[in-house]
Structure 1
Amino acid sequence: MTDSNPTQQQSEFLASLNSQEHAHNHQLNQFAKDYVTLSLGVGEHSEYFVDAYYGPEEWRPTGDAQSLTSLTQDIKTLCELLTGGDIAADSFLYQRHQFLLIQSKALLFYAQQLAGQTASYERECELLYDAKVPFFDEVYFDDVLRSLDTLIPGEGELNKRFANYRQQFIVSPSKLSTVFDAAIEEARKRTLARIDLPTNENFRVELTNNQVWSAYNWYKGNSYSLIELNTDHPIYIERVIDLAAHEGYPGHHVFNALIEKHLVNERGWLEYSIYNLYSPVSLLAEGSANYGIEVAFPWDERLAFERGVLFPLAGLDPEQVEQYYGIQRQLHRLSYVDNLIAQRWINGDIDDDKACDMLVKYALNSPERAKQRLAFIKHNRAYVMNYNYGQDLVKQYLAKQVADDSHDALWQAFTDLLAEPKTASMMEGT
């Protein structure tokens, strides 16, 4: 909950603006309120749309839900007002204006979808997530599978061989808490050495099941998150650091805490107090959370930590680290399979059975895991591209910001991006 009275930090921020920027900021504050209230209104028609909200309680809808027709018209008006805004490109507030405009256009498109408007996968990527995603077809994935075929030990069909090989890297439920706690502690230590977070930041981890996702961060505001881990399927050792970093440090938990600290609390930009799941900010949220794993754990350091700490805690053979993670690197090249399947399923080119067959063949999923993954794709549609293309785009953007191979500089550029988010087109145009 954000106090309606300006904090000292907000007062200092306002005092730093010149008169023209102060007027623009005041106008954007009104647009921000409209954006938040309209987003909350759309959330009345879509259970999972508003992923987090910690703004003024009085902005929440009361009484009967506003109709989608009425909401759509109000969002159109907001987009028109923002499009007609006249903020110079060299203004301190230009990025705030552009971000709010892009987010509002995505809100309009999502409201139209809820009302029954259909769109292709490509249009969803562009209008919901502000992104034009590269295309990879079966020829690309067949090449990756051939590479994996030479790496995975054993005999027989690749999918079954991989499944058999991978069984030895499952973290037993009795050791999961200990192993996961060690990964979180290390990820937190590495992150806090580089990023100044609020002293009260914290999160709680709970186990759950019967979900289409493997893990979820529910940000509650006041630098606090609830992280849920889905136990429907076994958790393999590589997922431990991935989940600790992606959901926690320096991933979703840190991303939301920095936005709340710098943009909501210090500047009073309340459009950032709401996180619409199906919106352009998700590309950065998921992309930075995935790339943040590599930032916090550079490859050699990750292998050393796996070998020296996590594998022993999990009761796994540390001598297997090099081979296993060599295979994981190749498996990552298959991540764009989700995009191909989402594209063809959304566009009506394949049915559920064909989609599951592709997940089994090209993602090396078991039939059961393929069904769960398809359920996630059907529920979230084009959202799946935020993980892979988002990660690649964040990596490419940060590489342009860092003049040399300095890891300190990479951490700083990464932190700056989290504290002042950019959409895909903003990063692509840099």
Structure 2
Amino acid sequence: MRAAVLMLLFLLGACATMPRADPTGDSLDRIAKDYVALTLEIGEREPGYVDAYYGPAEWQAAAKANPRTLPQLIQGAAVLTQRLDAVSDRGQDAASVQRRKYLKAHVSAASARLRMLSGEKMSFADEAWALFGIRPELKPLADYDPILARIDALVPGTGPLTPRIAAFKAGFVIPKARLEPVISAAITECRRRTAAHIALPANERFTLAFVGDKPWSGYNYYLGDAASKIEINADFPIDVDRAIDLGCHEGYPGHHVYNALLERTFVKEKGWVEMSVYPLFSPMSFVAEGSANYGIDLAFPGNEAQAFTRDVLMPLAGLPPADIAADAELGRLTRQLARAEYTIADDYLSGRVGREESIAMLSKYLLMQPDKAAQRLRFIDTYRSYIINYGLGRDTVQAWVEGQGPDHWRGMETLLASQILPVDLLK
């Protein structure tokens, strides 16, 4: 009798430690499919919300044919959150636990975006947290004045700084007739350096086009099956050193590689359909933009970008020799001004500061000519708190990757082929 009781207690204890079956039959796979549907339908309510989609065509057709209203989509996001909360992590492997966490973060961002589309107002920092999972620090603009002073001492001439910088940079502008060979050469070198460290899909490829009338300087449209369309905005002069930035950021090891590795790792190998869609206003973008910017320094460490620009790109552009070292130092200092934009955007989007004053502040602190600053304000009008993903994203990604060990390429590849969230990068 005692043995039977002990056996019963043992079986009861074993049952208590086993993962319990969901009586509704729900699963992460089912939730992921419904998340894709939600995202595609939001894309029908906000053009540009879906940055990339390469899942079943019939899912996209269904979203176009009968998208839910904003209130219905908000309710749909709430239901998805409830379903995710009901899925237990007990007995699951680490990848499945992270998958649920990843889905929940992206549904939360979708819910926030839907509320914004419905008229909800948030502060700049609250919006960044709700959409991208990171809360930026907003420093007083005066904190950036010492950096401006260092730049002022570096750039030749006297008088207002921004026109002097424009005059200095004039010697580095790529003639429009030579944009294609210069940008193509830069992307080719970015790819060569990336492929030496990361195994790219065998069929990966891209097309390159030059466009105008855009709020951005470059854009990668990921098409699926390891293919991208890279567009470069040729409205404004493009400096020769920007060719490397654009090649790495939009291509290798930036957006093209990030999307290609996600597709291979999750969609093709695991069948995790949530990764077949990329909602622009989501934590994905913090990792995407941050890794794309960090990828520039990863691919061209030290003075290697200067050497490649001097020896290859400037001759291709038909430019005479110039002070590449001073130009590189100017770029390094200018990068330290990047987060001033957050403070300017916070003031502008809240209505505390008007349009013309905001353009003047962007011109001063981002060292842009007024027409270029106006284009940047157009970007802020369009993408709002998305701007944190570039500077803050880069610094956060760099700290995480370089904290993984001495092989920074391995850390980068781990990040690009993962469901790591911005909050995970802070640990």
Partner of residue 415, structure 2: 417
Three-state SS of the structure 1 residue aligned to 2:197 is: coil
Partner of residue 72, structure 2: 70
Distance apart, 1:78 and its partner CA: 0.5
Partner of residue 10, structure 1: none
Partner of residue 89, structure 2: 87
Distance apart, 1:421 and its partner CA: 3.2
Within a 5 Å distance, the mapping from 1:162-177 to structure 2 comes to 162-177=165-180
Within a 5 Å distance, the mapping from 1:212-291 to structure 2 comes to 212-291=215-294
What amino acid is the match of 2:79?
A: T
Partner of residue 106, structure 1: 109
Summarize the Cα distance change of 1:62–1:170 in structure 2 as closer, same or farther, 3 Å threshold. closer
Three-state SS of the structure 2 residue aligned to 1:268 is: coil
Partner of residue 13, structure 1: none
Distance apart, 1:135 and its partner CA: 2.3
What amino acid is the match of 1:256?
A: N
Of 197-206 and 295-304, deviating more is: 295-304
Three-state SS of the structure 1 residue aligned to 2:27 is: helix
Three-state SS of the structure 2 residue aligned to 1:217 is: strand
What amino acid is the match of 2:425?
A: M
**Aligned with residue 389 of structure 2, among 386, 390, 396:** 386
Three-state SS of the structure 1 residue aligned to 2:134 is: coil
Give yes or no for contact 2:44–2:64 (8 Å, CA) kept in 1.
Answer: no
Three-state SS of the structure 2 residue aligned to 1:357 is: helix
Tell me the percent identity. 38
Summarize the Cα distance change of 1:102–1:25 in structure 2 as closer, same or farther, 3 Å threshold. farther
Partner of residue 54, structure 1: 54
Give yes or no for contact 1:356–1:370 (8 Å, CA) kept in 2.
Answer: yes
Give the TM-score normalised by structure 2.
0.92
Within a 5 Å distance, the mapping from 1:31-430 to structure 2 comes to 31-60=31-60, 61-88=63-90, 91-402=94-405, 406=406, 409-428=407-426, 430=427
**How big is each residue's C-alpha offset from its partner over 1:286-307, in whole Å with a ceiling of 9 and x where there is no partner?**
0000000111111222222122
Summarize the Cα distance change of 1:68–1:193 in structure 2 as closer, same or farther, 3 Å threshold. same
Distance apart, 1:72 and its partner CA: 0.7
CA distance in structure 1 between the aligned counterparts of 2:229 and 2:25, rounded to whole angstroms: 33
Distance apart, 1:308 and its partner CA: 1.6
CA distance in structure 2 between the aligned counterparts of 1:62 and 1:346, rounded to whole angstroms: 31
Of 20-29 and 266-275, deviating more is: 20-29
Three-state SS of the structure 2 residue aligned to 1:229 is: strand
Of 21-30 and 43-52, deviating more is: 21-30
Distance apart, 1:271 and its partner CA: 0.4
Give yes or no for contact 1:338–1:377 (8 Å, CA) kept in 2.
Answer: no
Summarize the Cα distance change of 1:26–1:263 in structure 2 as closer, same or farther, 3 Å threshold. farther
CA distance in structure 1 between the aligned counterparts of 2:95 and 2:71, rounded to whole angstroms: 35
Distance apart, 1:20 and its partner CA: 5.6
CA distance in structure 1 between the aligned counterparts of 2:84 and 2:400, rounded to whole angstroms: 26
Summarize the Cα distance change of 1:62–1:317 in structure 2 as closer, same or farther, 3 Å threshold. closer
Three-state SS of the structure 2 residue aligned to 1:225 is: strand
Summarize the Cα distance change of 1:368–1:423 in structure 2 as closer, same or farther, 3 Å threshold. same
CA distance in structure 1 between the aligned counterparts of 2:133 and 2:64, rounded to whole angstroms: 31
Summarize the Cα distance change of 1:25–1:349 in structure 2 as closer, same or farther, 3 Å threshold. farther
CA distance in structure 2 between the aligned counterparts of 1:179 and 1:195, rounded to whole angstroms: 24
Summarize the Cα distance change of 1:20–1:220 in structure 2 as closer, same or farther, 3 Å threshold. farther
Summarize the Cα distance change of 1:164–1:22 in structure 2 as closer, same or farther, 3 Å threshold. farther
CA distance in structure 2 between the aligned counterparts of 1:137 and 1:299, rounded to whole angstroms: 31
Give yes or no for contact 2:402–2:411 (8 Å, CA) kept in 1.
Answer: no
Aligned residues: 406
Summarize the Cα distance change of 1:368–1:351 in structure 2 as closer, same or farther, 3 Å threshold. same
Of 383-392 and 315-324, deviating more is: 315-324
What amino acid is the match of 2:286?
A: L
Structure 1 unaligned regions, length at least 5: 1-18
Three-state SS of the structure 2 residue aligned to 1:401 is: coil
RMSD between superposed Cα atoms in Å = 1.9
Summarize the Cα distance change of 1:21–1:223 in structure 2 as closer, same or farther, 3 Å threshold. farther
**How big is each residue's C-alpha offset from its partner over 1:144-181, in whole Å with a ceiling of 9 and x where there is no partner?**
10010110011222111111111111011122212112
CA distance in structure 1 between the aligned counterparts of 2:77 and 2:208, rounded to whole angstroms: 37
Give yes or no for contact 2:98–2:419 (8 Å, CA) kept in 1.
Answer: no
What amino acid is the match of 1:411?
A: W
What amino acid is the match of 1:393?
A: T
**How big is each residue's C-alpha offset from its partner over 1:194-239, in whole Å with a ceiling of 9 and x where there is no partner?**
1111111000001110111111100000000001111110111121
**Larger Rg belongs to:** 2
Three-state SS of the structure 1 residue aligned to 2:414 is: helix
Summarize the Cα distance change of 1:418–1:26 in structure 2 as closer, same or farther, 3 Å threshold. farther
Three-state SS of the structure 1 residue aligned to 2:174 is: coil
CA distance in structure 2 between the aligned counterparts of 1:166 and 1:427, rounded to whole angstroms: 36
Runs of 4+ displaced beyond 6 Å: 21-26
CA distance in structure 1 between the aligned counterparts of 2:207 and 2:20, rounded to whole angstroms: 40
CA distance in structure 1 between the aligned counterparts of 2:20 and 2:344, rounded to whole angstroms: 46
Three-state SS of the structure 2 residue aligned to 1:354 is: helix
What amino acid is the match of 1:240?
A: A
Of 146-155 and 61-70, deviating more is: 61-70
Of 162-171 and 339-348, deviating more is: 339-348
CA distance in structure 2 between the aligned counterparts of 1:49 and 1:62, rounded to whole angstroms: 14
Summarize the Cα distance change of 1:21–1:188 in structure 2 as closer, same or farther, 3 Å threshold. farther
Distance apart, 1:90 and its partner CA: 5.8
CA distance in structure 2 between the aligned counterparts of 1:250 and 1:370, rounded to whole angstroms: 28
Summarize the Cα distance change of 1:25–1:321 in structure 2 as closer, same or farther, 3 Å threshold. farther
